[in-house]
Amino acid sequence: MNAIPKRFGQIIRVKPEKLDDYIVLHKNPWPCVLERLDKSNIGNYSIFLAPGDLLFAYFEYFGQDLDADLRLIAEDPCTQKWWYETDPCQQSMDPDGKQQWLDLKEVFHMPAGNRG
Amino acid sequence: MNAIPKRFGQIIRVKPEKLDDYIVLHKNPWPCVLERLDKSNIGNYSIFLAPGDLLFAYFEYFGQDLDADLRLIAEDPCTQKWWYETDPCQQSMDPDGKQQWLDLKEVFHMPAGNRG
């Protein structure tokens, strides 16, 4: 486990007609989905709704091998069922079409040592 | 100080012709600005660049009186000089025009107790 996590910002578009479904799903996320994220060293995960039907995700990765941890998430039957519900709500903004959520470039971070 | 902070997601548009200026400014943020944020109980502050000239901010508030802490930031001469540099780079998306950054609605948060 890393004391200082790697930070991720991501964006995706939500289909306006699916917004209510998306919000209801995420108000009561399935415990098995959360458990798989946790086991894959992902935490402090939030999603915000922005104008223009945009969703902005922020999470932190505390592990050492992100690719392996993401693969375990993708192979998890519970997560696959969850994505079967959520994917139709979303429209990827990844120009390469390789992943649902598009990773954003971090242009600022407040140094952690600054607090206290 | 609160052990569990309040989370904020915010959005603003960056003027395309000012993007380079914005990035350079935020690569070397002024220590007095960071210090004022810290004293106002704001931490874990990141800004991400998204398609469509959008900036997403995420930060955490660890204090008890956000309005008072934000007022101290707004009254800080150093921060005022910083905003004199950054405000012209930005175009607010707040429909009320009351603040530069528009606060977003959080639609998901992974429970902290889930980790470990």
Per-domain boundaries in chain B: 6-103
A/B interface, count of CB pairs below 8 Å? 135
Radius of gyration of chain B (CA): 15
CA distance B94 to chain A (A): 10
pLDDT digits (tens, 9 = 90+) for A67-91: 999 999 999 999 999 999 999 999 9
Name the amino acid, one letter, at B106: E
CATH number of this structure's domain A6-103? 3.30.70.1090
The pLDDT confidence band at residue B96, using thresholds 50, 70 and 90, is: confident
Per CB-CB distance under 8 Å, the chain A contacts of B55 are: 107
What ipTM, to 2 d.p.?
0.93
* Nearest CB partner across the interface for B9, out of A48, A62, A111: A48
Beta carbons of A105 and A76 less than 8 angstroms apart: no
Give DSSP secondary structure letters for B88-111.
Answer: GGEE---TT-S-SSEEPEEEEE--
* Nearest CB partner across the interface for A104, out of B9, B49, B102: B49
**What would the mean pLDDT of B35-58 be, rounded to a whole number?**
97
Contacting residues for B106 by C-beta, under 8 A, at least 6 apart = A46, A47, A48, B7, B9
Contact flag A44-B114 (C-beta cutoff 8 Å): no
